[in-house]
A and B are shown apart, each in its own frame.
Chain A
Amino acid sequence: MISNDTDRKFMKQAKGLRRKADISSESYIQTVIRRFRRHHLAAVSLIVLGVIVLAALLAPVIAPYDPNEIAGPFGGAPSKEFWLGTDQIGRDVLSRLLYATRISLLVGVMATVISTVIGVILGLIAGYFGGVADMIIMRFTDMVMSFPYILLVLVAAAIFKPGLWNIILILGFVDWPGIARLVRGNVLNLRETNFIKGNIVAGMPLRHILFSEILPNTVAPILVYATSVLALSILDEAALSFLGQGVQPPEASLGNMLNGAQSLTVLTTQPWLWIPPGLLIVVIVMAINFIGDALRDALDPNSGR
């Protein structure tokens, strides 16, 4: 019995060792994927989000009706013909939902890209050069951060005429301070490391040091932060469109589809008008946040496993 036990223990150890050996030979990407897959919630989220994105991309193919066409009865309940019913002026809610997801995701992704680019560039400059550049950039960042930004967005939307691209630009220019701070902090750390000093001693040019040495080492936290910015941007777009300052009708977005739910009658008697877009926002934002959470764990170079 005892020998059996020790045998088993030994086998277990050997297995562990072999697994360790496997790990050491796998590439960074493989490690990240393996660690990511351990977060079941995130894996499911990724699939859900994938389906939603695919549906949004294929909207012109899938959508049963033209989203702006008056195709059925006014405010019709879900039926065989109109799966999610029709809105007050007889447009198919399902078709509009598909196109709205498209717009909302576009706004979210583009705004995130813009704010990430701005944040990364400003953060790199502030962190690497320090001194006056750092002071000016960081004070400006504090200023943008301390402004009640819904107000800022509303004012900007009022000045620049609400519309799809204006919303993207406005959200993009509002969300960067967090990323700038994050990047700056990371660069401050990295600048003092020996491998950066080694590259300076080796006479490598500034662009190499900034973009080939420092940036790849901050990509992980940027990516994680960007997922939360993505979720926020989608929420912000919904909020703005709900307030009528975002994407303008007849173009559909998840936010302005909710706009109709401002009236009590719609809320109580026509739930098919607001439950699907509302639910979709919740699902998208939650999925993105779960994915971001798992990414943080998976990309962390300090967690050994």
Chain B
Amino acid sequence: MLDENKVPLIQVEDMKKYYPVKGGIITHTTGHVKAVDGVSFSIMRGETLGLVGESGCGKSTIGRQLVGLETPTEGRIYYNGCELEEIRKNKKEMERIRTKLQMVFQDPYSSLNPRKHIYEILAQPMLYHHISEKSTVEQDIIKILDMVGLPRTVLGRYPHEFSGGQRQRIGIAKALSLNPEFIVCDEPVSALDVSIQAQILNLLKDLQKELGLTLLFVGHGLGAVNYVSDKIAVMYLGRIVEYGEAKEIFNHPKHPYTRALLEAVPVPDPKEKKRGRKLLQGEIGSSMNPPEGCRFHPRCPYASERCETEAPVLKGSVHMTACPVVLSGTEVASHG
């Protein structure tokens, strides 16, 4: 956004994804789950965008639309300036771009076929897409395994023989094996032990730098997301409420919801408890029937009457917030 000449690698315009809800005696659509409701953002080449929010806020849904597992109900996705929907119509183009968009899944236990050994899991897509030839594929795989920190001895083994962290490394290797430009990391560490999480995060960070990858990092912990991301988008109930540089958001949150998320980050200091943190009350609203006006207002400590009727839009140039009661610096200062 700072450099107008550069075309963003991924650009999303007003994306909406509604899932129909069926019911009734004679099955018919009774309503829609508005998982993503009008989201726009862009990711520059070589940049990592972190997407945070509570479970069910639609962040994983965005990831699925971007890699083409699902198609958005409305809105456009541009890849390298070309609309994804247009590319999909042209089979040859689609074939070319298909491998450029990859995904690392949340649960490393179900993301590898239990009946295949690692060599098969990694080699088959590479051979199918002619990324490697039969004679060289083993060398190529060993190179990739080396990148993710696994020895070549894993090739003949089955997924159940590995720990969660190792499986996630294999999952990352699988995504990398197709020479992608863009990888969606769908909560890649939330199923892992804390000690392993750091390893995987570092691995992702290093790989991103080394290969010049562009990442969308989906997560619900601000700490992990902040660690790997350049920019962060905070989501609430299908909408982005705050967007900006990771550091800026982490240090100077403007939206009450972001503030609440940061308050919830545990601090390893027992004295901290006494400082009385403001924790969010209530549950995330229904995405079938979201609250009128600002979707956060029923839980917002700063909500006014205006918030109940008027839906705020993202405002600002670098650090954008969708809140009329933008918090001033003094209130934030207490957080450090």
Give residues in A with beta carbon < 8 Å to B.
24, 28, 193-195, 197-205, 208, 212-213, 216-217, 301
- Known contacts A198-B105, A205-B128: A24-B161 contact under CB 8 Å: yes
Q: Is the CB of A202 within 8 A of B174?
A: yes
Residue from A198, A203, A208, A217 in contact with B115 in the complex, judged by beta carbons closer than 8 Å: A217
Q: Which residues of A contact B98 (CB under 8 A)?
A: 202-203
Task: State whether B124 touches A195 (Cβ < 8 A).
Answer: no
Flag whether B69 is at the interface (Cβ < 8 A).
yes
Instruction: Among B67, B101, B105, B128, point to the contact of A208 (Cβ < 8 A).
Output: B128
- Whole-angstrom distance from the CB of B240 to the nearest CB of chain A? 24
**Once the chains bind, are B113 and A202 in contact (CB under 8 Å)?**
no
Q: How far is the CB of B253 from chain A (nearest CB, A)?
A: 33
- Interface residue from B101, B113, B161 paired with A217 (Cβ < 8 Å): B113
Which of B103, B114, B115, B160 is the most central at the interface, judged by chain A CB atoms within 10 Å of its CB? B115
Complex partner residue of A28 from B95, B107, B110, B158, CB under 8 angstroms: B158
Contact (Cβ within 8 A) B95 A197: no
Q: Looking at the complex, which one of A197, A205, A217 makes contact with B105 (CB distance below 8 Å)?
A: A197
- B114 A202 Cβ-Cβ under 8 A: no
Among A193, A194, A197, A202, contact of B125 (Cβ-Cβ < 8 Å):
A202
Are B69 and A201 interface neighbours, CB within 8 A? yes
Q: Is B110 in contact with A194, judged by CB distance below 8 angstroms?
A: yes
Is chain B's binding surface mostly helix, strand, loop or mixed? loop
Q: Please tell me if the beta carbons of B69 and A195 are within 8 angstroms of each other in the complex.
A: no
Kindly report which residue of chain A lies nearest to residue B158, judged by CB atoms: A28
Per the bound structure, the CA–CA distance linking A197 and B175 in Å amounts to: 12
Query: Are A195 and B111 touching (Cβ within 8 A)?
Result: yes
Q: A194 to B111, Cβ gap below 8 A?
A: yes
Q: How many Å lie between the Cα of A226 and that of B241 in the bound state?
A: 56
The smallest C-beta distance from A261 to any residue of chain B, in angstroms, reads 48
Are A301's CB and B125's CB within 8 A?
no
* Residues of the B chain whose Cβ atoms lie less than 8 Å from the Cβ of A195: 110-113
Known: A24-B161, A203-B95, A203-B98. A198 touches B128 (CB 8 A): no
Kindly list the 4 A-B residue pairs having the minimum CB-CB distance in the complex, ordered from nearest.
A203-B98, A194-B111, A194-B105, A202-B125
Indicate whether B68 reaches chain A with its CB closer than 8 angstroms. yes
Assembly CA distance A208 to B69 (angstroms)? 17
What are 9 sample pairs from A and B whose C-beta atoms fall under 8 A apart?
A: A195-B111, A201-B68, A201-B69, A201-B101, A202-B102, A202-B125, A203-B129, A205-B128, A216-B115
Closest to B113 in A: A195
Q: Contact between B114 and A198 (Cβ–Cβ < 8 Å)?
A: no
CB distance A197 to B69 under 8 Å?
yes
Most buried by B among A199, A202, A213, A301: A202
Known interface pairs A194-B106, A201-B69; 13 further A-B residue pairs with C-beta atoms within 8 A, sorted by A's residue number = A28-B158, A193-B110, A194-B111, A195-B111, A198-B111, A201-B68, A202-B99, A202-B102, A202-B125, A203-B125, A204-B124, A217-B113, A217-B115
Interface contact B111-A208, CB-CB below 8 Å: no
A201 touches B110 (CB 8 A): no
Q: Name which residue of chain A comes closest to B120, CB basis.
A: A212
Is the Cβ of B178 less than 8 Å from the Cβ of A202?
yes
Q: Which residues of B contact A203 (CB under 8 A)?
A: 95, 98-99, 125, 128-129, 178
Smallest CB–CB gap between B292 and chain A, Å? 34
CB distance from A267 to the nearest CB of B (A): 52
- Determine if A194 and B107 form an interchain contact, defined as CB atoms under 8 angstroms apart: yes
Residues of A within 8 A of B113 (CB): 195, 213, 216-217
A216–B178 CA distance with the chains assembled, in angstroms = 24
A197 and B160 CA atoms in complex are apart in Å by 19
**A212 & B124 in contact (Cβ 8 Å cutoff):** yes
Q: When the two chains form their complex, are residues A198 and B103 in contact, meaning their CB atoms are under 8 A apart? A: yes
The closest CB in chain B to the CB of A301 belongs to B114
User: Which residue from chain A places its CB closest to the CB of B105 in the assembled complex?
Assistant: A194
How many angstroms from the CA of A203 to the CA of B106 in the assembled complex? 19
Residues of B contacting A217 with CB < 8 Å? 113-115
